[in-house]
């Protein structure tokens, strides 16, 4: 089932990218720091499950954001995938899908459940082909180790 979800995500991204260059990054413990924490762009981190119908419904929305907001990186984590133990331990995941807006290594917003494209959090005043922005309403730091560095 989990392979079907990621195959559907990959197929949808490939079909959409035929018209434009769209990139959705699959994240795990090995690339989380580079792709999310150290990203120069704000990141919408999608935490998803293969057994979650609302997660599947969100695929076109994520593609739409990737297409319409080139200054925002879209990253996805399949909670059923191997190699994500650090991510699961570090993020306050309670339901699926969960979306974290991460900027400069910090969570600046979080939404849970299937949402409309315009309801997903965005960085302040992104360069968007269509207008609408939403300010951050929740702020937290990703957990740090005892030495003060991130757990990655």
Please state the CATH superfamily assignment of the domain spanning residues 2-141 in this structure.
Answer: Glutaredoxin (3.40.30.10)
Per-residue model confidence as pLDDT tens digits over 58-110: 999 999 999 888 889 999 999 999 999 999 999 999 999 999 999 999 998 88
Catalytic pick among 52, 58, 107, 120: 52
Active site residue 52: yes
Every domain of the chain and the residues it spans: 2-141
> For 27-49, what is the HEC assignment?
CCCCCHHHHHHCCCCCEEEEEEC
Active site residue 139: no
Catalytic pick among 43, 44, 55, 102: 55
pTM beyond 0.95: the answer is no
Q: How many residues does the chain have?
A: 152
């Amino acid at each position: 089932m989990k392979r079907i979800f990621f195959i559907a995500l990959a197929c949808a991204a490939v079909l959409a990218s035929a018209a434009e260059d769209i990139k959705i990054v699959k994240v795990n413990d090995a690339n989380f720091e580079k792709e999310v924490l150290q990203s120069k762009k704000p990141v919408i981190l999608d935490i998803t499950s293969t057994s979650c119908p609302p997660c599947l419904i969100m695929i076109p929305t994520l593609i739409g954001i990737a297409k319409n907001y080139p200054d925002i990186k879209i990253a996805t984590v399949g909670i059923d995938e191997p190699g994500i133990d650090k991510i699961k331990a570090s993020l306050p995941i309670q339901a699926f899908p969960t979306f974290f807006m991460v900027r400069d290594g910090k969570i600046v917003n979080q939404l849970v459940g299937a949402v409309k494209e315009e309801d997903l959090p965005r960085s302040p005043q992104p360069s968007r082909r269509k207008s609408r922005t939403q300010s951050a309403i929740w702020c937290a730091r990703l957990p740090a180790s005892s030495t003060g560095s991130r757990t990655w």
